[in-house]
A and B are shown apart, each in its own frame.
Chain A
Amino acid sequence: MQRLILAFIALAAAPFAATAQTAVSPPGRLLASNCFQCHATDGRGGFEKLVGKSSGEIYHELVEMRAENKPGDIMTRHAVGYTDAQLKLIADYFATRR
């Protein structure tokens, strides 16, 4: 029930948040821009193309790399730098890119 109410509040607030936020700074964009240096602007190339993947795909890859805990792997090092919520935001952002 509590979750339902929260969802309702989030929905009710969404139109206002969306017009203000998506126009100016979409959620996850600034976080995801940390990936651009190696995966190209908006994830279009570099070591591995990220556009075209689903949010779930990207998120699970990142979580896996974090869980593998290979300190000699540069992506493990990057993945452990972010919270779960941040990884989700990053994955969601790339999933919106074309």
Chain B
Amino acid sequence: MKAKMNRRQMLATLGGFSAAALATALPARADDDTWQAPANPERIKPSPVSGTTPPGLPVTGLRGRVVVVGGGMAGATVAKFLRLWGGAGIDVTLIERETVYTSNILSNLVLNGNVAMNSLYFDYAKLRTNYGVKVLQANVVSIDSVRREVAYSQNGVQGKAAYDRLVVAPGIDFDFPPGLTTPEAQLAVPHAWKAGAQTLALRDQLRAMAPGGTFILSIPAKPYRCPPGPYERACVVADWLKRNKPGSKVLVLDANPAITAEVATFTQAFNVTYRGIVTYVPNAAVTSVDVAGRNVNTTMGPFHGDVLNVIPPHRAGSILAGTGLVNDAAGRFAMVDVLSYESTAIRGIHVLGDAAATTQPKAGHIANQEAKVCADAIVRAFAGQAPDPAPVTNSACYSPISATSASWLTAVFAYDPVSKTMVAVPASSGEANGPSGDHYQDMFVWFNTLMTDSFA
């Protein structure tokens, strides 16, 4: 693969939309009707200025250039820890098309009005000032793995960033079913699985729904982002409908044969807490959507609803299409060596987070940990050392079950040298005994600490 690949094959033209077109001067409010990405207070020059050297970075004597593509949970974390652990000699450039990251975590609480949309925005100012990360707001145009360069476009100006190591953390994109392939259809039937405009579109449809209506939520087959997330959403919406739209129903159409996470908590919630409101239909994979008729067609038959929320099957972010990095059996995600997250297809390129095919869940908390394993491995590589042979990662997550209660699930993963995969330590995997108000409060401590560890 490596020997045969020529540079042209690596040049993938990417259709990323312009972040500049979305940027406006006004920050969004919780009750905004339209979503606007807040403007970055700092104007970014087309070529990166040299990184500052904040006090506190260790002196390691190491030198190297790392380009990070994608400023989500994994991308922000790897940029921070490369500087924090590698020192000022590790030049880190983060390329991200948006001015801010919008957290998917807690975004279900925008639907019931508990959380303001703008409390989910995280910018890159602290990565610059605290760690000297160079941040480029730009669209990646192509990746050249032979010359080790990333070509980008920034406000119409073309530029190139050279790397010794490239980290790509583009998140996910969707395979939309027939009926949902146009932007209009995708707003009429939102996925709300990338927080922002989609979240507000779904919230507004729920607010406009007549009491007694039916909310349909469809869940794609595994692997998808945030395993408990769709069930959590069903619960949060059921709770909100119960209080605000009496007589309304929630219909959960799951492509999977059973609930995929926090089985005890969600089974109890669907069967007892929201009995008579939530109906759970397993093995119902969406085959097409009739937007005008408000019908979701599935392998278990057609279902009619008033507000439709179809979460389509996922694949690695489209930025990876055509790069050769998407090499798992299904052709959807990027295979990596979980000691370093280096691609199994192309040397020198690491793939992190939801875009990678690993045995770990696709979720922000563990993406943060994957990023630390990757940062440590790259720092060691610059010193001529092999990666840590026994990495450990953990996944933890709080899930709101109502407007006032939450649950949690957690797992610790250890490297298994035989299968060369991360394997959950059995006794470490589990869920809370049930939802509680204390867990709801803890959820915000977790969220704030996790986001600070990733972005500041």
Contact = CB atoms under 8 A, between A and B. Distances in A.
Interface string A61-98: 00000000001101001101110001000000000000
A40 B453 contact: yes
Interface in A23-51: 23-25, 29-31, 33-34, 36-41, 45-47
Interface size class of A (residues with CB under 8 A): 20 to 34
B388 A40 contact: no
Interface string B433-456: 100000000100110011011000
A2 B369 CA distance: 39
Chain A contact surface mostly: helix
A80 B429 CA distance: 9
B442 A24 contact: no
Contact of B410 (A45, A78, A82): A78
Contacts of B380: 24-25
B62 interface: yes
A38 B427 contact: no
A89 to B, nearest CB: 10
Given A37-B369, A41-B453, A24 B412 contact: no
B385 A20 contact: yes
Nearest to B388: A30
Contact of A86 (B373, B392, B446): B392
B433 A81 contact: no
A25 B410 contact: no
A20 to B, nearest CB: 7
B146 interface: no
B449 A24 contact: no
Contact of A38 (B85, B373, B412, B450): B450
A42 to B, nearest CB: 9
A58 B446 CA distance: 20
Interface in B381-400: 383, 385, 388, 391-394, 396
Interface of B: 60-62, 81, 84-85, 365, 368-369, 372-373, 376, 379-380, 383, 385, 388, 391-394, 396, 408, 410-412, 414, 425, 427-430, 432-433, 442, 445-446, 449-450, 452-453
Which 5 pairs from chain A and chain B are nearest by CB? A81-B412, A81-B428, A46-B449, A72-B433, A24-B383
Given A25-B388, A74-B408, 11 more contacts: A33-B372, A34-B412, A37-B365, A38-B396, A38-B449, A74-B410, A77-B430, A78-B396, A78-B412, A82-B412, A86-B392
12 contacts: A23-B383, A30-B373, A34-B392, A37-B365, A40-B453, A45-B449, A46-B445, A46-B446, A72-B432, A74-B396, A77-B412, A81-B428
Interface of A: 20, 23-25, 29-31, 33-34, 36-41, 45-47, 71-72, 74, 77-78, 80-82, 86
